[in-house]
Structure formats: C-alpha cells, structure tokens
Structure 1
Amino acid sequence: MSTILVAHPSPDLYGSDLQLVETVRGLLGAGHTVKVALPTDGPLRPVLRAAGAQVAVTPFTVLRKALLTAGGLTSLGLHAAGETSRLRRLARASGADLVLTNTVTLPWWPLAGRAAGLPVLAHVHEAESTQHRLIRSGLNAPLLAASRIVVNSSAAQETLLSVLPRLASRTTVVHNGVAGPPSPPAPLRRRGADSPLHVVMVGRLSPRKGVDVVLEAVALLRRGSMDASLTVCGSVFPGYEWYEEELRRRAAQQDLAGHVRFLGYVHPTWPVLETADVVAVPSRAEPFGNTAVEAMHAGRPLVASRVQGLAEVVTDGETGLLVPPEEPAALAQALGDLAAHPGKAARLAQQAVQDAAARFSVEGYRATMVDIVAETLADRDAPA
C-alpha cells in the first residue's frame, strides 16, 4: 500500500474538516498510511490521530478572505517560490506516494507536490461565485498543478470550470458522505398545529450561513402570534466577531428576547437536533451542506435555501422545503407551513431519512475516494 500526505487548512471540526476525517478513515481502511499536515493545532488533530493517521503541525499559507484581492494575491505570489520549495522538501521527506490537498485555500501545496514528482489529488469544497472573475481565477489557478480534482457538488464543479474550463477532464463530482447518529434518533415530537415550534440551526456564525435570516424569520413568526423559538449551534469564524455581536443584539430585541439560544460550538449535534421541530439551513451560499444531510439523518423536517449544493441535497417537497435565499418572509412562510401541517412535516422527515441513507452514506463515499486515489496513483504521469 501507499503513503498519502494530506494537507488541510484548518484544525477545527466543521464541514470540510469532518469530511477529511471520513476520507482519512477510508484510506486507512484500505491499508494506506496517512500523514496529515495542519498549519495550527486544534480539535481536529486528536480526532485524526484516533482514526490512525499521523499528524504534524507545521506553518504554511492558508488563503483567508482578506487575501482574496488583486493586491493580496499579488503579495502571495511574491512568496510562492520560497514556500513551494519548503513544502516540496517536506513532501519528499514524508515518503509520500501522493499528495492530497483539501480545499482550494492551500495555494502552494499542489505546486509543491508536483515539484516533488508526486501525483496530486485536490479535493474542492468551495463554490465561490461572487468574487471578481480575476480573483476566482487566481484562487483556483494552483489546481492546474493537480493530477485529479474531486468536487463535492455539481455547483462546485460549475463554479470551478467557469474560470478554468481546461480542468474539466480531470474533475469528478463526489457528494460528501455524512455519518448519521450512532443510535436511532428519538422520534419526531408529536405536536398540534398550534403547538410551540422549536427551530434549530447548525453552522458557523458567518454572514454566508444566513443566521441573521433565520433570526428575522423567527421574529416574523412570533409577530404572527406563533410561539416560535430558535437554537443556534456554532461559533464565530475569526474575523467575524462583529457579526456575532450583531446577532446577539438582534436576538435581545423585544420581539425575540428570551426565545433565542446561542450554544456556541456543539459536537456532536445529535442531542440538539433531536429537540428540533424543524431544522433551518438558511445559507446564502453552500457548496454542499453537511448540516442539511445531518438533519435528514436525524429525521427532522428541513427548510433550506435554494442555493448551490443545497439544491442538490434537498428535493423540494419530497425530502424538505427549499426557499429563496436572503428572504426571511419566505423562510418564515415555509417554517409556518410545517408548523401548521405536522403530518406533512413528519412525511418529509421520514422520506429524508431514507434519501440520506441511500445518497450520502459514509461507506459509499469512502469507497469512491479510495478508488479515485488508486486511479491517481496508477496514472502518475497525468498531465498538469
């Protein structure tokens, strides 16, 4: 078997981090040796080590929003040669047979892997379509060095190929595999059409996740005389502390005061999801949507934004409801619909459980990633 060197930008335990854990478990289960490089220490490290991976913390550049400007990308380019050379030496010293880069925020790892004479498999979890085309081209340009690219949704594929169409022949869509709860979830609470409604949202406190949208939607429900409450699970991303302050100020206003809870980072989230009458995923942009699949696994009715990967995960009217993004009134209407029709909510939740098990199983995801790694190793002379 082979040694796989994985470069990952975050030591946290959110969507792409947890997906990496499933990739690593699949590779280890197939007999590969897996070594993971992280730029900083954090809760992901012990999880990877418990799975059987070797983990090292070493500094390397991770693209953040502040760098995604023409000037920022130019500045990064000035340091490319030195960091690429250092990472190339690290890749060779690791004894790796393949380099796997997780997300597009690692600009120099694909170049370093190829410079070390190794095949590079890039796993793309982003579908950033709002930046200027020049910025998006610069962000994705290092993928030109990849031997093979996996994207987690057709939306992510479309976004990538819109700026780098020459990567089409190297790009494969593999939907995330999302683990379900360790034991069958508690049954959905029986409620009448006029019973209180408890909404749960899981996600980082960032504008793109739309926490402000669900706050306004719950406020609209309450103004319409519905006894609605909201629980939010998630912590703020560094640099967005201002957003959390805005959310807390809004939640303290008279129409919501006492009816919104911010729990911070929660893992696992199953106990909180079990308290939900309905789960909201109000993202403004979402390449895939692990939290939506988790709600489906938990057997909870789901309302999500009709954006990018969420529109691939949720079948409107069958496994959940889809609403336009950034429209609190539309979200409130959908939540109110499920509140007023408990039978419909239960039917959607039951169908969602079956759909999630069939389409987003961890076992299927791991097997697919293992096959792609084997194919990439077998074609070490892939053009780049």
Structure 2
Amino acid sequence: MSRSTAGDGRASATRILVAHPSPDLYGSDWQLVETIHGLIEAGHEVLVALPLDGPLVSVLRDAGARVAVMPFTVLRKALLSPKGLTRLGTQSLPEIARLRTIIRASRAGAVLTNTVTIPWWPVAASAAGVPVLAHVHEAEDTQRRFIRAGLNAPLLAASRIVANSGAARDALLDVQPRLASRTEVVHNGVAGPERPPEPLRPRQPGDSFRIAMVGRLSPRKGVDVALDAVGLLRRSGVDASLRVCGSVFPGYEWYEEELRERATRPDLDGHVELLGYVRPTWPVLEAADAVVVPSRAEPFGNTAVEAMHAARPLAASRVQGLAEVVTDTVTGLLVPADDAEALADALGALEADPALATRLAEQGKQEAAERFSVAGYRTTMARIVDELLEH
C-alpha cells in the first residue's frame, strides 16, 4: 500500500489505527504515548482502540489521538495454559470477524498492535487487507514452549514486528523463527524530567540511606526482594529506608497484603512506604540516594532508564532487558535476580562509597540521554510505519 503525496512532494496524512490492551499508565502504556507522538509529528492521523476507559484515555487525547473504547479480547494469565489457549482459539472466529469489520470501517492505512496480549488484532488486520505492525513488549521465557508458541502465533499475521529489546526478540524467535526477517529491535525512548535533576545529596557516615523503587506491586517486579534486601541492610547497621511507587495489578491483592505484612516486621517497621500509584515519580527519585529495580523478569526496564535520567545510582537484576539497559559497574550495579543478599550487598556498596554512587549516577544520566532519547525513538517508529505504508 502506498501513500499519496501532496503537491510539495510530502507524503499526505494516513490514518493509523492503534490497538492497546490497557487504559493504565505504566511502562508499555507510556511507551504507546511516545509512539503516538512520533506518528502525529510525522503527519499521521491516529485512532486508538482500548478495551476499557481509564487514565490513559485523556493522555492519548492530549497527545492528539482520537480514542474509541470498545470491548475486545485481552489475554490474561489464567488463559496461558493448553486448555486456556485452546478455548481462546475456538472462540476466535467471531472476534476476528468483528475486528476485521471495525478495521475496514476505520479506513486505516495501517494497524499497530501494542503487546502480544491482544492476539486477534494482527489476524483481523491481515484479513482486512491492512498492513500491521506488532510492537512486542514481552520477553516470556519461563513458560512451557507450547504456551509461548501459541501466545506468539498470531504475530505470524503481522507485516512487521518491533521488539523493545534483544531479549524480547530472542524470546519471540525462539518459538516463532519464521518471524526473523520481519523483526527488529527498537529500544524504548524514555522521557526525562523537565528540569535537570538535583545532584546527589552529600552524605556523612551514619546518615540515613534512602532507597526508591518504581513498579507495579507484582511478584515479577520483585518488590518482596527489595524489602528483604533493605531488611538485611538494616540488620547490618545501615539506617536504610524504602519508598515504593506503584499500585497492585488486579488479581494480585494478596501480594500487596504480603508486602504490607513484611513491612511491619521488626527489621523494617516504620522504614517502608508503599505509596501507591505516583505520577510524576521524579520527586521520589530525586529524594533518593539510590534506586532499585529488582525484577525477576523485565523485557526492557523503563524505570531503570528513569533512574538514570534522574542521576541516581542504580542496583538492578541481571535479567533480560535490564542487562541491555544497565552496564554493570558503569551505569549501575547488576545482581542475580531473586537474590536479596546480593541486592543488599550492591546497595551497601553504594551506601558506603559516595564516589562510586556519584560516578554511576553521572554516567547513567549521560547514557540515558544518548541511548534512550524520546526524539530518536519517535523518529524510528515513524520511519518503520512509513516503510510499512510504502509496500
């Protein structure tokens, strides 16, 4: 499909229909906002389909997109089993037919699907004869191969695929190798604070050590590991505290209860704050002496980049995308996942060595600006969509 051109040789606007599974405002949601900014800056008209109303809607409209809230299938963890995927497949035909009708009625020149959790959008776009770009934010490698192959099978209908990290690409191609020629890695573009961050506060021996974490309250994010690490630090004589920015993912209320119970034990009592959803998080990051990203799995790690933008020293898990974002001992400290003792040791090193903390913070800030700029990300995504439209 080619784009028409205006009299001055510029490509005329094309409508891009974007499908996204969540109305929330976390990593992949904010990344969608940057994608849409890039498409609108390139002259496209953007229509976004969401399954539910929520805070993302007003942000998308402020960015210049039109938003339609409509029901469609979103994969949940309960469906990630042979029986669940089989049931999903048997119910697919009416859903694909309905989405194909919606896509045709939208008169979109291309469809962009954000995450693999909305499986029938790529299939429906292909059935409607509309090119589709699938943006993969997942790097699942812990589930059974059969499940992972089924989860990613709908991407065979995509014309192009963008993965947000090499880890996400490798996990995808491990189970769907036919997608190799259609897949490229585009690291997220993560916005920094509006003003330069304050420098790290000078700390004297015996001063408190303030740690921050930003992320959903879910086992994947390893909040429990962070609490245990802070408990170990305190037992070693460090006056450490932790502030966590993030709300619980629906269905994981039990996990928040466990975290709150853990925070009342003697080693942590009075030194952990679970702040709930916080936006913007810059004041919390700026008040911290160090930031922790203890994820058990992380396809990219926007919060690690935000810590780097904030010029705060970082301790993170050596997993998937985090190992691509953070260069160990250069822009942060990497430790094994699910290892509270190793995380406590890394935080202890930052607490005991202000020169190390300052060096990592400054190098991280420079790296974030160079590698993960919003402007570069927007330009790259617009270029890929334009290439899609030209074929």
TM bin (shorter chain): over 0.9
Alignment deviations for residues 45-67 of structure 1 (CA, whole Å, 9 cap, x no partner): 00000010000000000001011
In the TM superposition, what is the alpha-carbon distance from 1:183 to its structure 2 partner? Answer: 1.0
1:233 paired residue number: 245
Q: Any idea what SS the aligned residue of 1:286 has?
A: coil
Q: 1:41 aligns with which of 33, 53, 65?
A: 53
2:233 paired residue number: 221
Identity %: 71
Q: 1:75-224 to 2 correspondence within 5 Å?
A: 75-224=87-236
Provide the C-alpha distance between the structure 2 equivalents of 1:357 and 1:262, rounded to a whole number of angstroms: 29
CA contact (8 A) 1:193 1:341 kept: no
1:373 paired residue number: 385
Q: Any idea what SS the aligned residue of 2:385 has?
A: helix
Q: Any idea what SS the aligned residue of 1:83 has?
A: helix
CA contact (8 A) 1:7 1:100 kept: yes
Q: Any idea what SS the aligned residue of 1:309 has?
A: helix
Provide the C-alpha distance between the structure 1 equivalents of 2:247 and 2:371, rounded to a whole number of angstroms: 29
In the TM superposition, what is the alpha-carbon distance from 1:363 to its structure 2 partner? Answer: 0.2
Provide the C-alpha distance between the structure 2 equivalents of 1:377 and 1:69, rounded to a whole number of angstroms: 36
CA contact (8 A) 1:279 1:302 kept: yes
The amino acid across from 1:371 in the alignment is R
Provide the C-alpha distance between the structure 2 equivalents of 1:255 and 1:309, rounded to a whole number of angstroms: 32
Which structure 2 residue ranges, 5 or more long, are not aligned? 1-12
Q: 1:273 aligns with which of 274, 278, 285?
A: 285
Q: Any idea what SS the aligned residue of 1:205 has?
A: coil
Which structure 1 residue ranges, 5 or more long, are not aligned? 380-384
Q: 2:343 aligns with which of 324, 331, 341?
A: 331
The amino acid across from 2:382 in the alignment is V
Q: Which region of structure 1 is more displaced relative to structure 2, 277-286 or 190-199?
A: 190-199
1:63 paired residue number: 75
In the TM superposition, what is the alpha-carbon distance from 1:225 to its structure 2 partner? Answer: 1.1
Alignment deviations for residues 140-198 of structure 1 (CA, whole Å, 9 cap, x no partner): 00000000000000000110000000100000000000000011112211112432100
1:382 paired residue number: none
Provide the C-alpha distance between the structure 1 equivalents of 2:22 and 2:52, rounded to a whole number of angstroms: 7
CA contact (8 A) 1:279 1:295 kept: yes
2:4 paired residue number: none
Provide the C-alpha distance between the structure 1 equivalents of 2:265 and 2:361, rounded to a whole number of angstroms: 32
The TM-score, its normalising length taken from structure 2, stands at 0.96
Q: 2:37 aligns with which of 19, 25, 40?
A: 25
Structure 1 position 352 matched with structure 2 position 359: no
Aligned residues between the structures: 379
Alignment deviations for residues 194-242 of structure 1 (CA, whole Å, 9 cap, x no partner): 3210010000000000000000000000111110000000000001111
Q: Any idea what SS the aligned residue of 2:189 has?
A: coil
In the TM superposition, what is the alpha-carbon distance from 1:32 to its structure 2 partner? Answer: 0.1
CA contact (8 A) 1:193 1:339 kept: no
Provide the C-alpha distance between the structure 2 equivalents of 1:95 and 1:77, rounded to a whole number of angstroms: 27
CA contact (8 A) 1:299 1:350 kept: yes
In the TM superposition, what is the alpha-carbon distance from 1:102 to its structure 2 partner? Answer: 0.1
CA RMSD of aligned residues (A): 0.6
The amino acid across from 1:84 in the alignment is I
CA contact (8 A) 1:199 1:229 kept: yes
1:284 paired residue number: 296
Provide the C-alpha distance between the structure 2 equivalents of 1:226 and 1:185, rounded to a whole number of angstroms: 26
Provide the C-alpha distance between the structure 1 equivalents of 2:381 and 2:136, rounded to a whole number of angstroms: 13
Q: 1:15 aligns with which of 21, 27, 40?
A: 27
Provide the C-alpha distance between the structure 1 equivalents of 2:47 and 2:359, rounded to a whole number of angstroms: 44
Provide the C-alpha distance between the structure 1 equivalents of 2:280 and 2:152, rounded to a whole number of angstroms: 32
The amino acid across from 2:351 in the alignment is A
CA contact (8 A) 1:193 1:342 kept: no
The amino acid across from 2:154 in the alignment is P
Q: Find runs of 4+ consecutive structure 1 residues off by over 2 angstroms.
A: none
Structure 1 position 250 matched with structure 2 position 254: no
The TM-score, its normalising length taken from structure 1, stands at 0.98
Provide the C-alpha distance between the structure 2 equivalents of 1:91 and 1:129, rounded to a whole number of angstroms: 32
Structure 1 position 303 matched with structure 2 position 315: yes
Provide the C-alpha distance between the structure 2 equivalents of 1:37 and 1:237, rounded to a whole number of angstroms: 21
CA contact (8 A) 1:194 1:340 kept: no
Alignment deviations for residues 2-23 of structure 1 (CA, whole Å, 9 cap, x no partner): 1100000000000000000000
